[in-house]
Amino acid sequence: MKADIIVLGGGPGGYLAAERAAAAGKSVVLIEKRALGGTCLNEGCIPSKAMLNSAKLYQHAQNSKGFGVTADNVEIHQEQVIQRKNQVVGSLVAGVKAIMDANQVTVVSAMGYVEGRTSDGFMVRADDKTYIGEKLILACGSVPVIPGIPGLKEGIASGYVMTNAEALSRTNLPEKLVVIGGGVIGLEMASYYAMVGVEVTIVEMLDKIAGPTEAEISEILLRAYKRKGIKFKLGCKVTGVTGQGVLYEQKGSEKIAEADAVLCAIGRRAYTENMGLENLGLEMNRSAVVTDEHLRTNVEGVYAVGDVNGKIMLAHTAYREAEVAVNHILGIEDTMDYSRIPSVIYTDPEVAGVGETEESAAAKGMKVRSISVSMNYSGRYLAEVERGDGICKLIVNLEDNTVVGVHMIGSYASEIICGAEMMIASKKPLAELQKLVFPHPTVGEVIREALFM
């Protein structure tokens, strides 16, 4: 079968690329060995949010007395949480399939293998059939990083150690969970398990949590997690995993964090093995495919979008990359801008940020000032959050008085940050941004307060 475009991988980048290209009149073959939606929809973004929402409802019911609401015998049933999560995922996967059908995308449910390139195009074998495409879009996704920690692989094989996939499907709750890694994945899963009553310990090699998250907000988040009962071992190197727990080194001595289950959440890496990509002669950066601002690889006609290029492993990044790649194929001028990709940690409280932090601005030699405003400046936040200590932080470029970064911790942060990203993109000075009208009362009004500081 011949097609204008073959898309290898059906995650956010892959299925959106297929949709956009097909809607523009291109014939498209989408090859995906598992369910459509990729890691995000099946083992990441969506299932974790469904579970976290259950945990929030449970915790709010337990702690509602201060709001004048009392509830007795509040329980959470893990099997029902997982059942509802599966229903949400199933509905969305079916929705993606419907979109592919509506756009006449040929979906092949099989492992794709790139055999090479001929004068006819790129040859990809799947399910004992060969497909030929004039263009090839790689959207192969990523897999969890499994470092060579003694006992880790054995623990995964036995089921004692989980990755995010197993953590999002477990129908029984352990008494003690140790999370290796204090990044976004580890924090979201730790938050869920702690909120439903599991004793959680996070072991992180760095002295802070949440990776590149703005430092002040990272500290507030750390306090919030500690209030939930999560224990932290920061600045500690994991040295081994045993049936009793996780061994770690702290100030020269080895200790153990006892656990009934372990979650390995060190990070993810681009998945490029066993697909014949070596037959294309692609330029690689370790396991990631190197791309330019149009998502082109060094091989003419081959593009790489989403986690497989190792740029920013977020579903919304993949969406935008897919649009840029397809636009380039269609001859529409478009480029990828990674400088203002929002990031979110979907815990309680939520964390969201976009653009420069004080640290990143200093590293670039930018002269900036920061404006921090308590979320309690928002009447709605104060009405809805008991003893909240969230903040909104603006980073302002002193050269042109424009906002170059916005970082928040508090309720609805994930829904507000898109507006902040548009403020940054507009490059309008503070005097112009101060004319924006925010609905009242909303938590987002805190940004308006910061603009006048």
Catalytic (active-site) positions? 440
C-alpha span between 314 and 307 (Å, rounded): 7
Contact 105, 18 (CB under 8 A): yes
β-strand partners of 351: 345, 409
Residue 141 token pair? 């996704």
How many helical (H) and strand (E) elements, i.e. helices and strands, does the chain have? 14, 24
What are the respective helix, strand and coil percentages of the chain, to the nearest 5? Answer: 35, 25, 35
Tell me if 30 sits within 8 A of 96, measured CB to CB.
Answer: no
Query: How far apart are the C-alpha atoms of 405 and 355, rounded to whole Å?
Result: 4
Compute the half-sphere exposure of residue 298: CA atoms within 13 Å on the CB side of its CA: 11
Q: What are the angstrom distances between the C-alpha of 431 and each of 368, 402, 416, 453?
A: 17, 9, 21, 12
Structure tokens at 348: 């309680």
Q: What is the DSSP letter of 41?
A: H
